Amino acid sequence: MTTLDSTVDYDVLIPNNVALASDARVRRGLERWHPGYIDWWMDMGPDGFQTSDVYLRTAVRVESKGADKWAVFDYVKMPDYRWGILLAPQDPDRKIPFGRHVGEPAWQEVPGEYRAMLRRLIVIQGDTEPASVEQQRFLGKTAPSLYDMRNLFQVNVEEGRHLWAMVYLLQKYFGRDGREEAGELLRRRSGSDDAPRMLGAFNEETPDWLSFFLFTFFTDRDGRMQLESLAQSGFDPLSRTCRFMLTEEAFHMFVGETGVTRIVQRTCEAMREAGIDDPTDVEAVRALGVIDLPTIQKKVNLHYSLTLDLFGSELSTNSANFFNAGLKGRFREHRLDDDHRLHKATYGIPEPSNGAWKTVEHPALNALNARLRDDFTGDCSLGVGRWNKTIRQAGVDFEITLPHVAFHRQIGVYRDLHATPDGEIVPEDEWTRRRHEWLPDDGDRAFIESLMNPEFRPGHYASWIAEPRIRINHKPGDFEWVKLAEA
């Protein structure tokens, strides 16, 4: 019996709302995987803080009921975090919302003909979660405040839980090869030469806190878009898992957006106090111990373009197959008003033509990655608009912009072009010569690194970032978000 409740059973090794107690095979599989996970967390999780007490939120329910919140906050040592398996409640009447099976009852078991495709989607999703923890493992040591440190660790434990979410699906629905894939997810390592993570951006470094905030703004937002598409899946357990993951994901986006806002705000304040009007006077601004806006723009260019590659090629038969099969839908498929099969539909993709860009129509089924990427860009623009509002309100004349989709791409239809952030196509040698105008160079990286000094006193913030306006769970300004263990 798998009747489900929205309350999570915490009196067991692996907290869950999927009746694991009465599913001996899967419970044993997960219990066997658990020690390897803890080993991975100790090796690759936040370095130097595993015995500190962190004020963390833990999900206890999959939805809020009246005054009952879905999560509780308390001090936890990260290795003791209760990583659980939480699926959104099942809707017994749910139908497959798109593709060739549209309108049929959602699948509760894996449809045999789509097994390999589905497993691949779940493995790729699962692979990104631990990768991000690996990328961020040294950041605690240079945290600009205990508040930011706590937020980093909150994101990290939740990405760990997202790995559990995918491993549950693999173990429950994919038998032996699912268990093998679950093992491989603990074996690959971000940036490794012989066993790298699967997608490009997850093998890049996250060397500093500006990168961390931009990663959570852009790359976790790719996570959001992909999870929204998988939440539409006709395979109901995947849909339900992703729906609950999205509840947690909102916080990751909050960390990214407010992190960059606070950096931009501090830069503008420092400029005003020093009477500097020209935001492009990089040397003068840097002398104030804050990050100049042109450098922030370069980092935006980098993280945005790396993240665009995560959507796969603009034109992809994989994505058409995922959609036709009913496995991966569009962003908010259930709100779209069309046939949900995309029979004769087309979708426009910008392509270069005689020194200009023109929109070329393609079968919409093949252009689903481009469409999701465009939805992503729209969502990013809202956040960037809010950063620009902060800059404007501070009276500084500067605007942060998202570069052209063809800029600095390694995957997809633009990969062989050399486009500037404005979308001008230039010869390769010119692009290489001017690269430092658009992307961070060694000097920019060294400058940012020089600011990455820890600030671990409660209520204090590093010189380059403003205090947050809204704090987690309404705690006071000098709250001790992380109680550091004695060295």
Phi, psi (deg, nearest 5) at residue 65: -125, 110
Q: Whole-angstrom Cα distance, residue 476 to residue 285?
A: 31
Structure tokens at 350: 């910008």
Shortest reach from residue 218's CB to Fe ion, in Å: 11
* Residue 440 contacts ligand BYC per CB under 6 A: no
219 or 239: whose CB is closer to ligand BYC?
Answer: 219
Determine the interface stretch with ligand BYC among 35-43, 310-318, 344-352, 385-393 (rule: CB under 6 A): 310-318
Q: Whole-angstrom Cα distance, residue 276 to residue 483?
A: 39
* Residue 221 contacts Fe ion per CB under 5 A: no
Shortest reach from residue 236's CB to ligand BYC, in Å: 17
- Site residues (CB under 6 A) for ligand BYC, limited to 57-116: none
Interaction mask 139-178, ligand BYC, x per CB under 6 A: --------------------x-------------------
Ramachandran quadrant class, 325 (left: phi over 0; alpha: psi -120 to 50; beta: rest): alpha
223 or 329: whose CB is closer to Fe ion?
Answer: 223
Shortest reach from residue 239's CB to Fe ion, in Å: 16
76 or 122: whose CB is closer to ligand BYC?
Answer: 122
DSSP letter for each residue of 439-473? S--HHHHHHHHHH-----STT---TTSPPPSS-GG
Determine which residue in the list 134, 148, 220, 222 makes contact with Fe ion, applying CB under 5 A.
220
53 or 220: whose CB is closer to ligand BYC?
Answer: 220
224 or 299: whose CB is closer to Fe ion?
Answer: 224
DSSP H helices, 45-188, are 115-135, 146-173, 175-187
In the block, tokens 């979308």 appear at: 423
DSSP H helices, 88-145, are 115-135
Residues 6+ apart with CB under 8 A from 385: none
* Cα 286–chain centre separation: 30
Q: Whole-angstrom Cα distance, residue 44 to residue 54?
A: 18
Determine the interface stretch with ligand BYC among 106-114, 124-132, 335-343, 380-388 (rule: CB under 6 A): 124-132
**Partner touching 147 among Fe ion, ligand BYC, none, CB below 5 to 8 Å by kind:** none
Determine which residue in the list 27, 150, 162, 286 makes contact with Fe ion, applying CB under 5 A.
162
> What residues are paired with 235 via a beta bridge?
107
* Residue 252 contacts Fe ion per CB under 5 A: yes
- Torsion, Cα 474 478 481 484, to 10 degrees, reads -170
Residues in touch with ligand BYC (CB under 6 A): 121, 124-125, 128-129, 132, 159, 199-200, 219-220, 222-223, 226, 309-313, 316, 318-319, 328, 369, 411
Residues in touch with Fe ion (CB under 5 A): 129, 159, 162, 220, 223, 252
